[in-house]
Amino acid sequence: MKTGTNKTLLSLNIAHLRKLKELSQGALAETLNVPRTTLGSWEEGKSSPTIDGLTNIAKFFSVSIDALITIDLTTVTDPQSLMEIGGKRVLFPIMVDEQGNDMIELVPVKASAGYLSGYNDPGFIQNLPRISLPYIANGKYRGFPIVGDSMPPLEKGAFVIGKYLENLADIKDGKTYVILTQNDGLVYKRIHRFNKADGYLMLHSDNTYYAPYKLPFKEVFEIWEFVCSINPADTQPSDLLFSVLQSIQSDVNTIKLNMKL
């Protein structure tokens, strides 16, 4: 992808990430062990890094090489929006409403099967429906559908709103989490006896019919901590939940408006 000049996404991303860290070209060039003029040439799009150079840039900024060359990182103003997924730092598109509240993406039942392949694709995420819940504290949130009966009282058709965890160390023993796994896709389970040194998560269902099992860390792509749930009536189709959520959002906005009058 080219811009109006000869700059590429890669050149723009290198310059932008350098500025986010408040580094001069000279300081970054010294860290990467290249001449300052070489770094300047990369940022101007006049030349491109070698494979070794690209690898060093990716390691220094903790960003995947794929993100460096295919994603426009110039939209990132907060380094915390670059989150770790599957061992790599990638861009989380963060949308806000008119009041500046983070928008919460909802993964519909029909889209949940494709989430494993689309979770790190900004195009996939940006096409998900969104709501905003102003009473939720700062963080990155997403809504996931419940499938099956392993976690009562939540039922099929309910949604769990989860907060993204950046570090395994933030896991709280006995709490519930939505976990994106390599082999089973999205699962909602309770984590017991968590010990980072074990190298795995011990996942339990609240429905004792289902046996607990071990999930190796290497098979974990995302973890979302339970924040709240929305459990529709038995007769309500899950896809209609979106209209209910939109109604909740509208009511919240109306209340805020009346408070200002």
Across the chain, what does the average pLDDT equal? 77
Q: Give the model confidence (pLDDT) of 92-124 as tens digits.
A: 555 555 555 567 888 888 888 788 887 777 678
At residue 71 the predicted structure's pLDDT band, cuts being 50, 70 and 90, is: confident
Q: Could you tell me what percentage of the chain is helix, strand and coil, using 3-state DSSP and rounding each to the nearest 5?
A: 35, 25, 40
Domain 92-260 has CATH 2.10.109.10: yes
Give exposure, 180-195, as e/b (b: 16+ Cβ within 10 Å): bbeeebbbbbbbeebe
pTM: 0.57
Question: How confident is the model at residue 38, as a pLDDT?
Answer: 95
Q: Is the dihedral of CA 10, 14, 19, 24 positive or negative?
A: negative
Q: What is the pLDDT of residues 23-68, one digit of tens each?
A: 999 999 999 999 999 999 999 999 999 988 988 998 888 777 777 8
pLDDT at position 239 is 42
* Whole-number Å distance between alpha carbons of 244 and 250: 10
Say which residue, 188 or 156, is predicted with more confidence.
Answer: 188
Q: What are the residue boundaries of the structural domains of the chain, listed by start?
A: 9-77, 92-260
- Provide CATH code, domain 9-77: 1.10.260.40
pLDDT at 258 over 70: no
Q: Which pLDDT score is estimated for 37?
A: 94
250-to-90, 133, 143, 237, 256 alpha-carbon distances in Å:
32, 10, 18, 21, 10
What pairs with residue 160 in β-bridges? 144, 229
Residue 209 vs residue 3, higher pLDDT: 209
Report phi then psi at 227, rounded to 5.
Answer: -115, -50
pLDDT in tens, 207-240: 989 999 999 988 988 899 998 887 765 434 444 4
